[in-house]
Amino acid sequence: MNNNLLENIPNIRILCIGDIMLDKFVYGKVSRISPEAPVQVLNLKNTKEMLGGCGNVVANLATLGCQTDYIGIVGNDSAGRKISKLLNNVGSHSHLLKLDDYSTIVKTRFIAGNNHILRVDDEEKLPIIKTLIPKYERILHRAVKKADIVILSDYNKGVFTPETTQLIIHICHQYGKKVIVDPKGKDYKKYAGATFVKPNLKEFCEATGVELSPNEETFDKKIRFGAKKLFENCGIENLLITMSEHGIMHISSKEPEIIKKLPTEAKEVFDVSGAGDTTIAVFTLALALGFSTIESMRLANIAAGIVVGKVGTACVSLSELKKAVNKDDSSSNLAHMNKIISLDEAQDIIKDLKSKNKIIGFTNGCFDILHLGHLNSFAQAKKNCDYLFVGINSDTSIKRLKGNSRPFQDETTRSNIVAALSYVDYVVLFDSDTAMPLVQILQPDVIAKEGYKIENWPEAQYVQSYGGKAVTLPRLEGYSTTNFIEKLKGEVHA
């Protein structure tokens, strides 16, 4: 894979067309049942609003740094104005058609702790308004002409009628632009002429009428049968089928007997929200950059693996993607590598986790020679939080503190070893003599460390000053780096 192509991302322009909605998340805590009815009472903590539907595809592309245009329809209402503002915030140039007699779709999710307890959908089917087509067509010509590639994100909310879908695809053909479709519904005839159609496995089964299980022996045979059916009846050029934990596959209408598969990249799945949007965004961007189909699949697969390894976020940054694709084969399969993050990444992750009422824990150290005492400390610290962040002294920091003979292992090795532990969620290197500057920036809810009294522990005092919790962990006697070094010296001199 020619990873240098990623440097061209700012020069790529992608047009996204499709159903857009406002996603609202209401976070709170349930501690009692209502006296009025047998229902839970949610004590509101905070709310969050973000782009949903095709808007999430736009957000993914904008986060990666390419130029984005969006065409879609909203109501002339407050939710529509919020969507317009959110599109502007991510830097997308949008053509929002605002209808007076139509309400913008709003999906509100109520979440208590880790539990999604209710979703309320405020939506109506988009009315078919014949007078919109001429205006829509003029906008399409201008936008498609400027774009490098086009995404159609169909959520079955009314934008993609057979007439409008074929109009868009026909215009794309006029300008020689590839069309990538995220489909909905059972009838794929309206997508005739699309370069790629990307159903998930459930959607593929619904569209073909074929019952499938990835673990059955006849799976590939049934996939080929269903794919041929779509190719013959619907005029689609390629199918890209996502299969969750079973990976992703490509079948071409030119070679329908050949199935190209890639296994999933995700090793730990925390949240699958938006993984499909990330897949189609990165796959399309990769095609526009000049990657081959299989390389584009691999890049999209890597991006989706990063996203589902996070909590509450549906976008992957360019720095994360570059970091993942630049690893050599021996390290690319190590899931823990994604746990080693920069300070800026840590701030963003913690902000998102706290918005969901997650408890952030922190501990720190050199961890030059990892021993059972360290493992015990990590295990105890993890019991006090939902997510444990570990600060590790850089090589430069350790030399200042312990002399030029230390550390025995460099910061890359130490970070990887600590990140590989199941107790640890994220690792952040710091260059200062103490962890105080890091603690002041991260503002953890809990700080934990063995053997430190609060009165001699400035970082703990700081955490307590804003209402956080400081935990002095019990020391596992007989285990320390100093003891290990002294024992080693004794054996050398013996």
Percent of the chain with pLDDT over 90: 61
Helix ranges restricted to H, 209-292: 219-234, 275-289
Q: Which residue has the tokens 């934008």?
A: 159
| Answer CATH for 3-177+264-333 from 3.40.1190.20, 3.10.20.30, 3.30.360.10, 3.90.1150.10 | 3.40.1190.20
* DSSP type of residue 450: E
Of 4-13, 240-249, 306-315, where does mean pLDDT reach its minimum?
306-315
Four-CA torsion 77, 23, 66, 18, nearest 10 degrees: -70
The gap from C-alpha 75 to its chain's centroid, in whole angstroms, comes to 28
Confidence of residue 451 (pLDDT cuts 50, 70, 90): confident
Q: Mean per-residue pLDDT for 24-46?
A: 90
Q: How far apart are CA 466 and CA 354, in angstroms?
A: 15
Q: List the structure tokens of 252.
A: 């071409």
Question: What is the DSSP secondary-structure string of 11-58?
Answer: G-EEEEEE-EEEEEEEEEEEEEE-SSSS-EEEEEEEEEEEEEEHHHHH
CB 83 within 8 A of CB 74: yes
335, β-bridge pairs: none
220-273 pLDDT, tens per residue? 999 999 999 999 999 999 999 998 878 899 999 999 999 998 887 644 444 445
**Residue for token pair 């990063």:** 306
pLDDT value, residue 88 = 95
The predicted structure's pLDDT at residue 474: 86
DSSP 92-145: -EEEEEEETT-PPPEEEEEEETTEEEEEEEE--PPP--TTHHHHHHHHHHHHHH
3-177+264-333 and 343-493, same CATH topology: no
pTM of the model: 0.69
Strands 67-75 vs 93-99: parallel, antiparallel or unpaired: parallel
| Cis check: omega of the bond before 407, within 30 degrees of 0 | yes
The number of residues in the chain equals 494
Which active-site residues does the annotation give? Answer: 277
Is the per-residue pLDDT at 89 higher than 90? yes
Q: What is the pLDDT of residue 336?
A: 56
Q: How confident is the model at residue 482 (pLDDT cuts 50, 70, 90)?
A: low
φ, ψ (nearest 5 deg) of residue 139: -65, -40
- Radius of gyration, alpha carbons of the chain: 26
Phi (first) and psi of residue 109, to 5 degrees: -110, 130
Give the domain ranges of the chain.
3-177+264-333, 343-493
CA angle 49, 50, 51 (to 5 degrees): 145
List the end-to-end C-alpha distance of the chain, in Å, as a whole number. 53
Judge whether 389 and 449 are in contact, CB under 8 Å. no
Interatomic CA distance for residues 37 and 311, integer angstroms: 33
> How many whole angstroms separate alpha carbon 250 and alpha carbon 239?
6
pLDDT 10s digits, 103-152: 999 999 998 877 888 999 999 888 776 667 777 889 999 999 999 999 99
How far is it, in rounded angstroms, from Cα 143 to Cα 148? 10
Give dist(CA 105, CA 111) in Å, integer. Answer: 20
How far is the CA of 49 from the CAs of 26, 83, 118, 320, in angstroms? 9, 9, 16, 24
pLDDT score for 274: 60
Structurally, at CATH architecture level, domain 343-493 sits in 3-Layer(aba) Sandwich (3.40)
| Per-residue model confidence (pLDDT) at position 57 | 95
Strands lying side by side in the sheet with 40-53: 40-53, 20-33, 106-112, 115-122
- Backbone φ, ψ for residue 56 (5° rounding): -70, -30
d(CA 125, CA 103): 9
